Homo-oligomer: A and B are copies of this chain.
Amino acid sequence: MDHVDRKIIAELRTNGRASYAELGRTVGLSASSVHERVGKLEAAGVITGYHAVVDARAVGLGVTALVGIQPTDTASDDDVAVALGELDEVESCYAVAGDEAFVVKVRVGTVDDLELALGRLRRIDGVARTHTTVVLSTRFEGRPNNTSLGRPAGDARGGVAS
């Protein structure tokens, strides 16, 4: 993971469909070299996938809520997490510090759907209480943080070697 890899990653984070030729031009390498590097980054689990970003309202998902989940005393966190993952409405799931075990992001079409989704959440074994915060507007979301790009080569903390 050197400076060039980071530049490639930064580019692919903002334009996930950039061609290898294009990437090669921005980093000053041949397309084949970039192809090789990207393959290694994918294999190493640094790049985990590519996704199209879709306007949620345009696909009928105009209502977003953040839901804190208080567990029962007897619950296994892992079981609860798995159950949360089985609900299609739950887009993201974070285990958190504090008196709630999880915070999940729920996305649905209408407030009626939200009511249904919350009902399903509460019916999960191990869920004692939920605390819902309705999102009024998404100002921005999933923005790439490029802080790490300025750092010297070996300074990535936390694992996943190349």
Q: Which of A's residues lie within 8 Å of B, judged by CB?
A: 1, 6, 9, 12-17, 44-55, 57-62, 64, 66, 81, 84-85, 88-98, 100, 102-103, 107-110, 113, 133-148, 151, 155-160
User: A147 to chain B: which residues have CB within 8 Å?
Assistant: 60-61, 88-89, 108-109, 113
Partner of A58, one of B1, B102, B108, B144: B1
Closest to A66 in B: B103
Given the interface contacts A89-B145, A109-B148, does A13 sit within 8 Å of B54 by beta carbon?
Answer: yes
Q: List 27 A-B contacts (CB under 8 A).
A: A9-B54, A9-B59, A12-B52, A13-B51, A13-B54, A16-B17, A16-B49, A16-B50, A17-B50, A45-B55, A45-B58, A49-B52, A50-B52, A51-B53, A57-B156, A59-B156, A60-B151, A60-B157, A66-B96, A85-B140, A90-B143, A92-B141, A92-B142, A94-B136, A97-B133, A97-B135, A98-B134
